[in-house]
Amino acid sequence: MIRTTCPYCGVGCGVIASPDGRGGAEIGGDPDHPASRGRLCSKGAALGETLSLEDRLLHPEIDGRRVSWDRALDAVAQGLSDVIARHGPDAVAFYVSGQLLTEDYYAANKLAKGFLGTANIDTNSRLCMASSVAGHKRAFGSDTVPGLYEDFELADLVVLVGSNLAWCHPVLFQRLEASRRARPSMKIVVIDPRRTETCDIADLHLALTPGSDVALFNGLLVELEHRAKDKRFVEQHTTGLDDALIAAGVGDLGSCDLPAADVATFFDWFATTDKTVTLYSQGVNQSSAGVDKVNALINCHLLTGRIGRPGTGPFSITGQPNAMGGREVGALSNTLAAHMDFAPAEIERVGRFWRGARMARGPG
């Protein structure tokens, strides 16, 4: 029996796999896994069907012929060395999946930046989560998600922005649905131009004009300044509120093209509900203004002090199961490791720790 992780979506459900005697595996949910608690969606439950060995490469090959691992590794190392000798380290680049283990990301990042001398390495976060990376760094100083899955079950108001949770993260949707049944007083708001299956459990669906999320949350920020500002939190833990309010005040809430009564209801629920979680996904990230959307909704949590406490916070949910793990260990072209950037002191610090023979000196 092997405990492992489903590779499909950002929930990263726990899987228990056991050999079935036919080259495949019997698959079950891991009841001890903190994200899924034994649940699997239809894709995870069918993982055993993907494990046939007939079309898998089971040993190294060069030019179609089987070779030893030593010879294969020597060939790769020689190939990299030759390219770097002829063209320099930036002639080499790595693109790695959002489905690797954190340790694998770390090893690949260390190889590239510490020993090949190139920062040309990106994970799927470059395509999937770059808006969140930049928004988190702008808001918090580091790319950090300040929340837990448990917060959804503790919140009294859950706001889903650009997320069809029912289809894209089914097990987390099931957890939210179960929590809602247990606590019918919980309110759920879906902000999405489309009506999706997620809307089936929503108390309010705001089908705003595509691209108008910033205007909506800037309007909410102005409202919260008068009704729900946590003055002590703002003074002790934030800067830049005046500039944020000035920028928010020039927004055009009418561009959302929403019924005024629905907007008023949303603003009222947000203003009067302390335990509020705002979950956002690709509808926010995959946008030409994605970073501004991220910061507009984070600002509403900062103004109200609804962050870093159970049942509160902005929450970015990724497209693949360990996109955050790759970001934690720096596997992006513009970060180094452990949320450090390419400042000279940080390059030297990481170089000493890695004993890096050829440290990359700047972003890839």
* Cβ 324 vs Cβ 345: under 8 Å: no
* Cβ 240 vs Cβ 303: under 8 Å: no
| Residue 152: strand, helix, or coil | helix
Inter-CA distances, 274 with 33, 279, 313, Å? 29, 16, 10
Q: 61-62 and 65-66 as β-strands: parallel, antiparallel, unpaired?
A: antiparallel
What is the domain class of 130-316 according to CATH?
A: alpha beta
Give the pLDDT score at 195. Answer: 96
* Cβ 192 vs Cβ 160: under 8 Å: yes
DSSP assignments along 68-94, one per residue: -HHHHHHHHHHHHHHHHHHH-GGG--E
Beta bridge partners of 25: 19
Give the pLDDT score at 50. Answer: 85
**C-alpha to C-alpha distance for 333 and 364, rounded to whole angstroms:** 5
* Cβ 126 vs Cβ 286: under 8 Å: no
| Residue 176: strand, helix, or coil | helix
5 phi/psi in degrees, rounded to 5: -130, 135
Q: If we measure between CA atoms, which residue out of 200, 196, 193, 189 comes closest to residue 278? A: 189
* Cβ 212 vs Cβ 259: under 8 Å: no
- Alpha carbon 119 to its chain's center: 21
- CATH number for the segment(s) 2-50: 2.20.25.90
pLDDT (tens place) for every residue of the chain, 364 residues total: 899 999 999 899 999 999 888 777 899 999 999 999 999 999 999 999 888 778 889 999 999 999 999 999 999 999 999 999 999 999 999 999 888 889 999 999 999 999 999 999 999 888 888 999 999 999 999 998 899 999 999 999 999 999 999 999 999 999 999 999 999 999 999 999 999 999 999 999 999 999 999 999 999 999 999 999 999 999 999 999 999 999 999 989 999 999 999 999 999 999 999 999 999 999 999 998 999 999 999 999 999 999 999 999 999 998 888 888 899 999 999 999 998 999 999 999 999 999 999 999 999 9
* Cβ 200 vs Cβ 180: under 8 Å: no
* Cβ 314 vs Cβ 307: under 8 Å: yes
First to last CA, the chain: 41
**C-alpha to C-alpha distance for 39 and 6, rounded to whole angstroms:** 11
* Residues 149, 150, 154, 157, Cα dihedral to 10°: 0
Where residue 258 falls (left for φ over 0; alpha for ψ -120 to 50; beta otherwise) is beta
Give the pLDDT score at 24. Answer: 78
Give the pLDDT score at 249. Answer: 93
* Cβ 339 vs Cβ 330: under 8 Å: yes
Give the pLDDT score at 52. Answer: 78
